């Protein structure tokens, strides 16, 4: 296939960026999207040009590193799929594809398609964990958990922290991400002691990082490669309301 790519190029955080057009005449339908970018980068390097910077790691749809916006949609047109698992057979010969970084105040551009998503890490550091004593791993059956709760917790735990929900949201909200973490831990017995401290700390950190508020557009769920449910946001809101009413500030 012959494709035309319009790629966002930006040398650094303080540099102005712009879309630059490239023609690729030899794209195989069996290539993944990232393999197609690899082919373009090899050509750019042979020509003495700077290759396009983009994040990637596992290339198996697990790590969430391959964060980019394709034709206005985070991770591209295929629902429930990361960029690295998007294949070029989704496109037709002669198509023009526009590729940009995730757009959010909390995700500043580092270079080209690479953005700094460490704001999500800081939300996790604020409370997205369970405080337990170190030592040997406990017996898996030591604490019985009802299957419906276990299933819902595992569904929420699928979140890979890619940030597509933020990039898709008109408000650049991280509520689906935070809701997934709050739901995952809040449904398990191990997460109960810190349940309400957790949600207050994570929401406070989310606001500090410059993420917007949730107004229930639902774009986050549509863009999420793991299709995390909007019910996780409802659970976060319920826990946050109860925690806010019962908190005791020193």
- Domain limits of the chain? 3-111, 117-246
Q: What is the overall mean pLDDT for the chain?
A: 94
Summarize the confidence of residues 135-151 as an average pLDDT: 83
Residue 102's Cβ-count burial label (10 Å; 0-12, 13-18, 19+) is buried
pLDDT, residue 97, reads 98
Q: Could you give the percent of the chain with pLDDT greater than 90?
A: 90
Alpha helices in 47-160 (DSSP H): 118-127, 147-157
- Is the domain spanning 3-111 CATH 3.10.20.30? The answer is yes
CA distance 242 to 192: 14
Fold identical between 3-111 and 117-246?
A: no
CA distance 112 to 94: 24
Summarize the confidence of residues 46-56 as an average pLDDT: 96
Summarize the confidence of residues 20-27 as an average pLDDT: 95
Residue 249, pLDDT > 60, answer no
Q: Between residues 166 and 137, which one has the greater pLDDT?
A: 166
Where does the pLDDT of residue 250 fall: very low under 50, low under 70, confident under 90, or very high at 90 and above? very low
Specify the pTM.
0.92
Summarize the confidence of residues 176-191 as an average pLDDT: 94
Residue 134, pLDDT > 80, answer no
Picking from 119-133, 134-148, 176-190, which range would have the lowest pLDDT averaged per residue? 134-148
pLDDT, residue 139, reads 76
- The CATH class given to the 117-246 domain equals mainly alpha
């Amino acid at each position: 296939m012959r494709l035309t790519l319009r790629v966002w190029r930006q040398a650094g955080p303080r540099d102005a960026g712009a879309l630059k057009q490239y023609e690729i005449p030899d794209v195989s339908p069996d290539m993944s999207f990232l393999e197609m970018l690899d082919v373009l980068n090899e050509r750019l390097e042979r020509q003495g040009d700077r290759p396009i910077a983009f994040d990637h790691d596992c290339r198996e749809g697990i790590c969430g590193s391959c964060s980019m916006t394709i034709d206005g949609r985070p991770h591209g047109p295929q629902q429930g799929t990361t960029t690295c698992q998007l294949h070029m057979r989704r496109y037709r010969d002669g198509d023009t594809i526009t590729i940009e970084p995730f757009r959010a105040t909390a995700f500043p551009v580092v270079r080209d398609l690479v953005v700094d998503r460490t704001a999500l890490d800081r939300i996790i550091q604020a409370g997205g964990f369970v405080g337990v004593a170190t030592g040997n791993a406990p017996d898996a059956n030591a604490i019985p958990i009802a299957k419906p709760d276990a299933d819902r917790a595992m569904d929420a735990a699928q979140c890979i922290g890619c940030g597509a929900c933020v990039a898709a949201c008109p408000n650049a909200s991280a509520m689906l991400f935070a809701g997934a973490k709050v739901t995952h831990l809040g449904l398990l017995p191990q997460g109960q002691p810190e349940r309400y401290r957790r949600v207050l700390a994570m929401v406070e950190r989310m606001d500090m990082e410059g993420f917007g508020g949730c107004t229930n557009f639902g774009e986050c769920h549509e863009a999420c490669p793991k299709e995390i449910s909007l019910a996780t946001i409802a659970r976060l809101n319920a826990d946050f309301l109860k925690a806010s009413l019962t908190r005791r500030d020193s």
